[in-house]
Amino acid sequence: MMTSTRAKTATTGDRNVSTPNPGSNRTEGRKDPWSQLLDKVGKQQDREAYRALFQHFAPQIKYYAMANGLAGQAEELVQEVFVSIWRRSCLYDWRKAAASTWIFTIARNQRIDMLRKMQRSRAEMTVDTEDLWQIPGDDENEPVTSLHRLMSERRIRDSLKHLPEEQITVIAKVYMENKSHQIVADELNIPLGTVKSRVRLALNKLKVILQDQNA
């Protein structure tokens, strides 16, 4: 349990924004190339843009499936994710999430759906996956939070470069192999507490932890 005082402008004031960057970064940061392509798919059903997205993201999604023990269904997962991207692209709002973040959430949800279908008892679930795990932008009432969401991906990419390997290994196992902290601990043969502290240190640097946002 965590009690916090609240920080309203937590990530907008982060230091990457004020770091002197080549001037183009600021405007390009608003809409990266993948988000531009996804926008075209949504607005014009642009097939060349769709193909370019496929070429970039399909291998990532296939790897993601394989890392998750879905090697036999990896091609199928790629297809399902991309059908979903096509269908939903009209809902995509680049101001609410970068394309890669949006695509990650779709891949994650399709993986959850696929696992549900494979476990018969869970297939009868009464709650839709997307009722629980939302895709950014689906909620029209959600206000556009402007730059800070878009900056977050670049900021994370930069911060990740400075994390020690042992921290990256742990969070990559959680995200890419969908392993619980306990299973990661067992696999790496380290105590659960060590896994938790590595995750904590990593999230701390990535500014996900509440207290750090107040600092």
178 binds another protein (CB under 8 A): yes
**Which residues 98-117 are close enough to bind another protein by CB under 8 A?**
98, 100-101, 103-105, 107-109, 111-112
At position 11, the amino acid (one-letter code) is T
Residue from the set 31, 95, 196, 205 that interacts with another protein by CB under 8 A? 196
| Alpha-carbon span 184 to 163, nearest angstrom | 18
156 binds another protein (CB under 8 A): yes
Check residue 120 and report its DSSP letter.
H
Render the burial of 178-203: b for 16+ CB within 10 Å, e for the rest: bbebeebbeeeeeeeeebeebbebbe
**Which residues 12-41 are close enough to bind another protein by CB under 8 A?**
none
As measured in angstroms, the least distance from the Cβ of 140 to another protein is 7
Q: Which is nearer to another protein, 145 or 194 (CB)?
A: 145
Count residues near another protein (CB under 8 A): 89
**Which residues 72-91 are close enough to bind another protein by CB under 8 A?**
74-75, 78-79, 82-83, 86-91
174: its two tokens: 């959680």
58 binds another protein (CB under 8 A): yes
As measured in angstroms, the least distance from the Cβ of 152 to another protein is 5
94 binds another protein (CB under 8 A): no
Question: Segment near another protein (CB under 8 A), from 16-24, 25-33, 59-67?
Answer: 59-67
Residue from the set 127, 165, 189, 215 that interacts with another protein by CB under 8 A? 127
| Alpha-carbon span 208 to 190, nearest angstrom | 24
Whether 111 contacts 65, CB under 8 Å: yes
Residue from the set 11, 35, 73, 167 that interacts with another protein by CB under 8 A? 11
Check residue 82 and report its DSSP letter.
H
DSSP of 192-215: HHHHHHHHHHHHHHTT-SHHHHH-
Whether 198 contacts 170, CB under 8 Å: yes
